[in-house]
Structure 1
C-alpha cells in the first residue's frame, strides 16, 4: 500500500470523507447544534452566578437571589439531560458511520486486483479496515465539530470579558497567540511520528499473522528463540516510536500549560487589583475567573484535538490509499452461459513486468474432456488457469468458452461457470455443512446430501458424532489435508460449474488419500470439462490428454501413455524411464 502523499491535510480528509456523510448530514448537524446549545448554556450559568453574588453582596436582595437560584437549578438539570441525549445520539452515529466505511472498504478489498492485494502487507489491510475506520468518525466529530465548538466558546467568553473590562481582555489577547503558535508549529512533527508508527505497526501485525500461521514450522525448525528475538525487536521499535511521540506531545502540553499559568496569574492578579479599586464587582470578577477557566480548558482541548488530528490524518490517508488501489475492471456486460464446456485459446499472449509469460499460445479443449496441463515452474500453467477465471487478462489474443469471448462477459458470470479447487483450501471456523454451502448458499439440505453421497465424503462425515454439523475450527484445524480437499471438491460440485480446474489440488497429499480423491473425481465429474494442473503423475494419468507447456507455449500434447512412450520432456518432468 502506498505511503506517499505527505501533504494530505484536513481539507483533503473532509473531501474524502464527505462521500460517507451523505446519509448522516442531518445527524451530524443536529449533533453540532446540540453541542452549540450546550455551550451557550455553559456561557449563561457563570453570568447568572455573577449576578447572584452581586445581588447578595451589594443589594441584599434575597428574592432575586432565590429566583436566580431556581433558574440555575433548572438550567443545570436541562444541561445534564442535553448532555445525555447528545452522547446517546453521538454513539449511534459513530456505530452506523463506522460500519458504512468498513463495508465499503471490505467491498473494495473483494474487487482489488490480486497482484495489488498480494503486494500489500496483511497487517496494513487488517488495521486499515478494522482500526483506522473509527478515526474517520473522530475526524468529523472531535477534530471538526469540537474544534468549531471550542473556538466559538473561546470567542464568546473572550467577548464577554472584553464587554465587562476591556483591559483584562487585552491582557488575554497578549497570551492567546503564543499558545496558538506552539500548537500549530508542532503539527508536522507529530504527523511524522504517526506515519512512522502506523507503518511499523502494520508491518508488525502482518508478521504476527505469518508467525501464527507458521507456528508448527517454527517448532519443527527449533527457531523459537530466533522468533522471540524478532518479536522483542519489533515491539521495542513500536515502543520507541510511541515514547517519542508521547514525549513530544507531553512537552507541547507542558509548554501550553506554562503559558496558561502565566496568563492566569496575570489576569487574576490584575482582576483582583481592579476589584480592590472598585472598578470591578466581585460577581464580575468571579464570572471572569470562571470564563478564564473555560477558556483555558478550551485552549487545552484545541491543542489536544490538533495533536490528535495529525495522528488521524495519517489513518485517513491510509484508508484513501487503500481505496485508490486499482480494482478489477469488468471486461463486458454479457453473462457467460456454458452448456458444453468447450474452451479455446487463440494466439494468447500475456506479459507481466516486461516478461512474456505466454507467447501466442493456442489451445483447444473439447467439451467434457479431461486435460492435464503440465510443465516446469514458470511455464505458464497457472497463468492459463487465472485467465479462465478472469483474474488475469491476455495482453493480446482471445479466450472463448462455448464460442463466447470472455472479454465480453462479466466476472461474476465467468466465475459462476468455472470452478477451481486449489492446493490451499479456504476453510472458516464453522461447521462442515456451512463450509460446503459456501459453493451454493441457495442449495437445499436434500441437494447437499445428494452431492455429499456422489463425492464420497459421507463416509468421513458419518464417522463424526455431529456429522455435517461438526465444527472444524479455524482454517479447518481439526481436519487432515485429504478431508479438506474432499470438502473443497464437494463444495465445487454443489456449485455445479461445467468447467472445473484442479490447480495442484493433490500435491501435498499421501498416496492413499490421493487415491480416494481420484475415485471421487471419477464419480462426481463425469459430464464436465476438467483441467488438471499438477506435478503429480497419478493425477495426470486420469486425464484424456496431456498438454506440456514450456516458455509460455504448448510444445507437446497427447494421451498420457503415448506421452510416456514418445516424449523425452514428459519423462524428464516426471522422472520416468522407458
Structure 2
C-alpha cells in the first residue's frame, strides 16, 4: 500500500485557507513591499540617461527622495509581515503541537507499548515545525519571489525581448533540475524524521535507565548503539545535502551564465551598436538580478517546503490513527457509579491467535474486594487492565452496573477510577503537586486527610520543606516505599468508586507495609477493588480471591474456602508462609 502524502493543495486547504484573512493581509503587504523594491533599479535609467547627462540637480533630489521613501515602505512592510505571518506561523505551530499531543493521549495503551516515548516527543515537537514555511517566511519568499520574477520579466521584455529570451534558457534548465531534485529529496526528508525520532527515543531510554546502564557497566554498549543511530542520521543528511548541493552548483553556473554571459556578451554588443542606452543597460542588469535572486531563493524555499510536507506527512499519519474509543459508539454516560462489575466469558489476546485470557467469568459486588493471585504471566494484570478499560476484550463483555463497558463513555467511567501500580509513576515536582494530581482544586483539609491516611506525613515531617520537597524525575530522590505511599495518597484524594491496586505494597519494607495495610483498609472501604498481590498474607480479608493460571480461573472463593480445598492457593499460601 502506497504511503499517503500531504500535497501542497491539501496543506493549503487545512492550514492556509482557514486563516485566509490574515494570509490576504500578508499577501497585500508582500505586493506593496515588492512594488517598492522595483523603484531603485528602475530609477537607474533616469539617473544615467536623464539626470547625469543634463546635470538636473532638482530631478536628482526628487529621485533620491522617491527611492528613500521606497526603502522606508519596504522596511515597514517587512516589520508588519513578521507581525502578521511569522508570528501567526509560530502560533499555528503551538496549536498543532497541542492538537497532536491531545491526539496521542487519545490513543490506546497498546500504541504506547509499541512506541518509544522519545519518538513521540520528536513527532509532537519537531514534525510540525515546517508549518512556518507554509504560512510564515516560506510563504513570503514564495509569493514575493513569484511576484518579483513576473514583474521583472515584463519589464525586461520591454527593455530587450532578445536578451530576456536568451537569459531564460538557463533559467528553464535550472527549474527542470530543481523539480527533479525535489522528487528525490522529499522521501529522504520523510525518512530523516523517522530516524530522528528513533534516535531521540533511544536517547530518552538511555537517560531514563542510566542507573541500570552504570550498574551493568554498559556505557560503551549504549554509546555504540547511539553512535550507530546518529550515523544513520548523518547518512540521510548527507544524501539530502548532496542533492541540494547539486541544485546550488547548478544555479551558480546556469544563473551565472544568464547574468554574466548574456549581460557582458550580448548586452555589451547592444551598447556598442547603440541599440541599448547606458541607463537601459544598468536597469536591465539590476532587474535581471532582482529576478534571479528570488528564483534562487524559491529553490531554497522549495527544499524547505519539501521538508515541511514530509513532516506534515508524519503528523497527518498520527492524526489519522484510530483513537482509544470511538465516542460515537460509547453513548452511555455514567452520572454515578454503584460499582457492580462482571466479566462475562471474556477472552483477550495481545497478538492475533495468541490468547492470554480464556473465557474469564466472575462478578464483583459493589464495595467488595477481589484479589487476583497466580504465577507471573498468568494473566492477572491483563484482567486488571480490562477492568480499568485500558484494554478491550476480543470476545465476551464486561459490565459496570449492568451496562456494557464497550458502550460506556470512557471519561464518565474513568473519573470514578483510581489506579495504584507496582512501579508507580511520579511527576517531577513537589510531593504536594503529585498528591494533588487527580484533583488540583482539592482543599488543604482534603489533602491533609489523604496525607495522613497514606502515612505520607510519617516521612515528610522529617523533610525541611515537607510537602513542598522536590522529588526529582520519577521521584528518584525518594525510596520505593515513600513513592508508593505518595501514590496511595493520590488515589485516596481521587476518591474513586473503582480501584485497581497492582502490587501496591510490593516496594515496601515491613514497617511501611504495616502502615499501608491500615491505609488501604480505609481506601478500599465502600469501593469496588481489584487487588493484584504476590504476598498472599495481604489479601486474607478479600471478599473474593481468584487464582489465575494460564489465563483461566483455576480456583475461586474466600481465603478460608480456598485453604480448606488444599488446592493451588493452599500450596502457594503455605509455601510463602514457610519462607
In structure 2, what is the equivalent of residue 320 of structure 1? 316
In structure 2, what is the equivalent of residue 51 of structure 1? 46
Structure 1 position 440, deviation (Å): 1.2
Residue 292 of structure 2 is aligned to residue 296 of structure 1? yes
In structure 2, what is the equivalent of residue 460 of structure 1? 459
Structure 1 position 41, deviation (Å): 1.2
Query: Does structure 1 retain, via aligned residues, the 8 Å contact 2:118–2:205?
Result: no
Helix, strand or coil at the partner of 1:333? coil
Larger CA deviation: 411-420 vs 275-284: 275-284
Relative distance call for 1:6 and 1:573 in structure 2 (3 A) is same
Query: Does structure 2 retain, via aligned residues, the 8 Å contact 1:571–1:577?
Result: no
**Inter-partner Cα distance in structure 2 for 1:185 and 1:403:** 63
Q: Deviations over 1:254-290 (max 9, x none)?
A: 1111111111122212212212222111111111111
In structure 2, what is the equivalent of residue 61 of structure 1? 56
In structure 1, what is the equivalent of residue 402 of structure 2? 403
Q: Deviations over 1:50-77 (max 9, x none)?
A: 2222212343322222211111111111
Match for residue 341 of structure 1 among 339, 343, 354: 339
Helix, strand or coil at the partner of 1:345? strand
Q: Deviations over 1:367-415 (max 9, x none)?
A: 2222211223443322222222222223333322233332332101111
Structure 1 position 32, deviation (Å): 2.1
Relative distance call for 1:140 and 1:564 in structure 2 (3 A) is same
**Inter-partner Cα distance in structure 1 for 2:539 and 2:183:** 61
Residue 252 of structure 2 is aligned to residue 257 of structure 1? yes
In structure 2, what is the equivalent of residue 369 of structure 1? 368
**Inter-partner Cα distance in structure 1 for 2:300 and 2:58:** 44
Query: Does structure 2 retain, via aligned residues, the 8 Å contact 1:455–1:523?
Result: no
**Inter-partner Cα distance in structure 1 for 2:12 and 2:557:** 58
**Inter-partner Cα distance in structure 2 for 1:442 and 1:139:** 41
In structure 1, what is the equivalent of residue 506 of structure 2? 507
Query: Does structure 1 retain, via aligned residues, the 8 Å contact 2:345–2:360?
Result: yes
Query: Does structure 2 retain, via aligned residues, the 8 Å contact 1:347–1:396?
Result: yes
TM-score normalised according to structure 1 size? 0.93
Match for residue 108 of structure 1 among 94, 103, 107: 103
Matches within 5 A, 1:13-162: 14-16=9-11, 18-21=13-16, 24-162=19-157
Please, what is the CA RMSD of the aligned residues? 2.2
Residue 277 of structure 2 is aligned to residue 278 of structure 1? no
Helix, strand or coil at the partner of 1:132? coil
Query: Does structure 2 retain, via aligned residues, the 8 Å contact 1:499–1:528?
Result: yes
**Inter-partner Cα distance in structure 2 for 1:475 and 1:560:** 36
Query: Does structure 1 retain, via aligned residues, the 8 Å contact 2:337–2:416?
Result: no
**Inter-partner Cα distance in structure 1 for 2:390 and 2:244:** 47
Matches within 5 A, 1:146-225: 146-225=141-220
Helix, strand or coil at the partner of 2:136? helix
Structure 1 position 313, deviation (Å): 2.0
Matches within 5 A, 1:210-249: 210-249=205-244
In structure 2, what is the equivalent of residue 10 of structure 1? 7
Structure 1 position 216, deviation (Å): 0.4
Relative distance call for 1:413 and 1:240 in structure 2 (3 A) is same
Structure 1 position 571, deviation (Å): 4.3
Q: Deviations over 1:146-203 (max 9, x none)?
A: 3233122112111111111111111112221111011011112222332332222111
Helix, strand or coil at the partner of 2:547? strand
Q: Deviations over 1:293-333 (max 9, x none)?
A: 12221121121112222222221111111112210223423
Q: Deviations over 1:457-500 (max 9, x none)?
A: 22222221111122212211211111111111111111111221
**Inter-partner Cα distance in structure 1 for 2:4 and 2:414:** 41
In structure 1, what is the equivalent of residue 393 of structure 2? 394
For structure 2, the 5+ residue unaligned runs are none
Relative distance call for 1:248 and 1:22 in structure 2 (3 A) is closer
Helix, strand or coil at the partner of 1:266? helix
Larger CA deviation: 155-164 vs 450-459: 450-459
Structure 1 position 542, deviation (Å): 4.5
Structure 1 position 21, deviation (Å): 4.3
Relative distance call for 1:475 and 1:351 in structure 2 (3 A) is closer
**Inter-partner Cα distance in structure 2 for 1:570 and 1:435:** 37
Residue 412 of structure 2 is aligned to residue 413 of structure 1? yes
Query: Does structure 2 retain, via aligned residues, the 8 Å contact 1:182–1:256?
Result: no
